[in-house]
Amino acid sequence: MREIEVSAVLPVYNDLSALKTAIPRSLEVLEAIAPGRFELIVAEDGSTDGSTEFVRDYEAKDSRVRLLHSDERLGRGRALNRAFAAALGSIVCYYDVDLATDMPHLTELIGAIRDGYDIATGSRLLPESIITRSGGREVASRGYNMLARTILGSSLHDHQCGFKAFRRDRILSLLPSVTADHWFWDTEVLVRAQKNGYRIREFPVRWQQGEGTTVRRNDVIEMGSAIVQLWWRLHVEKG
């Protein structure tokens, strides 16, 4: 059995079209970073568009690919929890299947963990970041992250960028305290990690908004509500 250093996870829900690009591109980049010492886990979360069958076929012909299928919809947070628990590598990472963050940044992401950081995360909101997205989404993102910094006391600039890596043992010890099971998972992990003294590296990335991503009024309200709820839980835990 080959030794695995890096386990890369692609969270997937009805993303068949994106997978056709993401899998071969991931294998190419990961092979350059950890030759023969990585696995690509597709955390497929109850898809109905043929994603499961596509990955299963890929897995059959390439041992570097692993399908982790769920019959029921778990939500991104729970799907990542499950994937990290099943991972074989000492370094685990995940990134969005639309490859919104430029893949060359994966070298820096993994390198930060190799250099001793517990968590590494890409940021779309540092001065050196280069991003392409709609004005409405930009405003919502900056507002959300400002609230996270102000209310939750975070020192990070971008909590929701889908491009993160972790020391596997450190993230697994943190996850039992994380209650978010979907999109808020990223923020809660980063906030709790800071409060537990984890070493975190945030670095600028080149990022381009994927197709079909919009921000609705209800999304903004839900974002603010989730931040306040986490603040309250942290306050109660401390008390």
Q: Which residues are catalytic?
A: 186
Residue tagged 């969270």 (tokens): 11
Largest interatomic CA distance in the chain: 53
Residue tagged 């930060």 (tokens): 112
CA distance 224 to 235: 17
Which run of H or of E encompasses 10? strand 6-12
**Strands across the sheet with 163-167, in order?**
65-70, 38-45, 6-12, 91-95, 163-167, 119-123, 200-204
Closest CA to 200 of 90, 122, 87, 91: 122
Q: How far is CA 19 from the centre of its chain?
A: 16
The pair of structure tokens assigned to 8 is 């890369």
Category of 41 on φ-ψ map: left (φ > 0), alpha (ψ -120 to 50) or beta: beta
Whether 220 contacts 140, CB under 8 Å: yes
